[in-house]
Structures are given as C-alpha cells and as structure tokens.
Chains A and B, each alone.
Chain A
Amino acid sequence: KQEVTQIPAALSVPEGENLVLNCSFTDSAIYNLQWFRQDPGKGLTSLLLIQSSQREQTSGRLNASLDKSSGRSTLYIAASQPGDSATYLCAADSAGNKLTFGGGTRVLVKP
C-alpha cells in the first residue's frame, strides 16, 4: 500500500527566500507524481505533474524533481512571495487513477 509523507508539516520563511518542500513515497512503482496548492478552505490547484519517466518539471518559479529509486520528490519555489503562502500537497499515482496524498506542508511567507 502506497504511503506518502511530507515533512515538515509547516514552514515559515521571509519573503525572497527560496522554498524547498519534501515529499517521500514508499512504493516506487508510480505512474506520476503531482504537486498541488491549496488555499484555506478551498479546492486544489494543480502546480506540476512529473511522469515516472521524467526527472523534473519546471513552471515559472516552480521546479519539481523526482527520484523514484529513493522514493522522493522535491518542490522548489524560487524567490518566495507572500502570495505563495498556502498548503502544498504532493500525490503519488500508483494505479493510473488513484492518487495517494501526503498530509501537506503549510507554508507562510512573511513580508
């Protein structure tokens, strides 16, 4: 059974600092790994999807890496802004349609 862990559960940084968010998964046989952003009381916004054959994906200030052999993915957010404050969730797709989510990392970027 796939298990996904995100550490730390919460993170606070000053504006301008780079953010590094970690995600680990127990079963390396994944189709893809997805990163989402969730604002308080809201739904999820898809940020990046990394296919199992890829090592990383980039979108603007966001970069996500994937290392299947070690069961890890990392989301980097460059030059953080107060608007980046949210909860970031990673999810591993192990069955082609079944996402297993981590508990999330709550990020606060202080002006």
Chain B
Amino acid sequence: EAGVTQFPSHSVIEKGQTVTLRCDPISGHDNLYWYRRVMGKEIKFLLHFVKESKQDESGMPNNRFLAERTGGTYSTLKVQPAELEDSGVYFCASSPAGTGGGYTFGSGTRLTVV
C-alpha cells in the first residue's frame, strides 16, 4: 500500500509569491488533515477534510491560505501571497473513516519564505 505522498519536499520562495503544496492520501482514506510545524514549535492543526468537504478549518491562520480537495482524492494547500512567518514544515495525514487519531503522515513539505 502506498503511503501518504507530499510534494514538493522542499520549496524556497520569495515573500509575496504563491506556492501550492500537494498531498496524495492513501487510496480510500476519507479523512485528510493538514498540519504545520513552525521552527522549534509544536505541530499545529490547520484543517480536516472528510472526502471533499471541509470538516474543520479552525486552524487555518488567515485568508492567505486556501485548501482544496477536489473529488475527495488529493488535496492542495495554496499560500498566496506568502509571508516570512509562513516558513515551516507542512504535514499531510490521512486516515480511514472513523479512525481515532491513528493517522498515516506524509514526509512533509519544508517551505522557506525569504
């Protein structure tokens, strides 16, 4: 079974530019989550999809962040325009319906905004 795939693995962009991160969950997993770890701090929840619907987006920091999950398969997280404080590692995770926290995580995308 293929795991959760994220790309790119690294991205360096200038302040004000746009970046799109992609996550391919495990096939058949209804739940898809985005998390972010800012350097040295805790990993924080951003949002949760159930299939194509946003179940909870309470962790999204501001309206510069837009997440989509078209057709309930892969998901994208767009940051537009990027700011310096957006730098960090963005993790995606997926789980089957009804799972209590035991997700499978991807390797993360390290985003650096300069």
Do A and B bind? no
B interface residues, Cβ below 8 angstroms from A: none
